[in-house]
Amino acid sequence: MTSRAPRAPAPSSAVNSSAGAAGTDLRAVASPVAPCAILTRPDGQAQSLAARLHAEGIDTLEFPLLHIAAQADPAALSALDDALRSLTSYALTVFVSPNAVVHALSRLVHLQSVSGATDDGKTTVRWPETLPVAVVGPGSAQALAEAGIAAPTHRVIVPPGGPEARFDSEALLEQLDLPALAGRRVLLVRGDGGRELLADTLRANGTQVDIVSAYTRRAPEPDAAAWAALEARLASPLVSAQRCAWVLTSSEAVRHLATLLAARYGTRDGVHTPGTPQVLAQILSAPCFTSHTRIADAARSAGFDRITQCAPGDDNLLAALKTWADPIQVKHDDR
């Protein structure tokens, strides 16, 4: 596996918190009549979905609500290194997200290179074939496969797909043989913080759980260019907010969005500066698409009321966004 970190966003019509240039008319970034999806994934992690949306005639605007970085805290990094050096002592390793996979395996590549465990001079992962891996969803399974950790040489446990698929801790626990893990050690790899359901359930089962952090999350502060681009899409008198849709894929990110909106515009019942309640109302009137009940609940708490919850995965998000965008595109084509 090539040691990777989340990629920087590719140049596009989208504007994120580090984009824009002095003198640029951000209100002319994209066609005001084309449907637009506002992508809120971390920097560098929205390109694949954006490319697929562009192919369907849907514009995108990147407005990242989380920043992901490799773990740098000395104590957390030491704990991660100790766990990775002793992988064979575990009965199971659980990765809670694609970011956990990417950053932990990148660190493992580094450790194996330093120790001389790799004999080909390449940045490839050497994962114990006898150590099964469990992941919450297909995105993490794909990240493992790209590193060479996949059937038939490795056992990867992932919740099943299908129309009723659930890719969360609850669904993963249903796939684990809990009695077989009693009295044994499990490694749980995640970012700073996160839900405790997996660890708590395993410990209640009599399993020893070691939790390590492979990456950090922080809430970015959008700059003036990012806000200008967002308002050009959602709050301009020349553009209907109904032509834009939020794509919300993290409840933590939605909570940060609510904090950002309250700080900039106040609340629906309060005023920070003249006119901002109307701007906030326009932003919140845009439809939003989520892939989990927890995210939909967070969006509702943030003030959104046009919420579509679809099945997890980019394929399902794309299908839902196409269904939403089709009437807009037809109306535009008939003009």
pLDDT digits (tens, 9 = 90+) for 89-99: 999 999 999 99
Question: What is the per-residue pLDDT across 167-189, written as a single tens digit (0 to 9) for each?
Answer: 889 999 999 999 999 999 999 99
Measured between alpha carbons, how far is 280 from 272 in angstroms, rounded to an integer? 11
Measured between alpha carbons, how far is 306 from 257 in angstroms, rounded to an integer? 16
Amino acid at 294: R
Cβ atoms 211, 94 nearer than 8 A:
no
Q: Strands of 307-309's sheet, edge to edge?
A: 59-62, 36-39, 244-248, 288-290, 307-309
Question: What is the per-residue pLDDT across 196-247, written as a single tens digit (0 to 9) for each?
Answer: 999 999 999 999 999 999 999 999 999 999 999 999 888 776 666 678 999 9
Domains and CATH numbers, the chain: 26-66+221-333 (3.40.50.10090), 69-218 (3.40.50.10090)
Q: Measuring CA to CA, which residue among 180, 140, 181, 186 is closest to residue 159?
A: 140
Q: Three-state DSSP class for 124?
A: coil
| pLDDT value at residue 246 | 97
Query: If you ran DSSP here, which 8-state letter would residue 27 be given?
Result: G
Ramachandran region, residue 214 (left: φ > 0; alpha: ψ -120 to 50; beta: rest):
alpha
Mean pLDDT (whole number) for 64-78 = 96
Instruction: Please state the pTM of the whole predicted model.
Output: 0.79
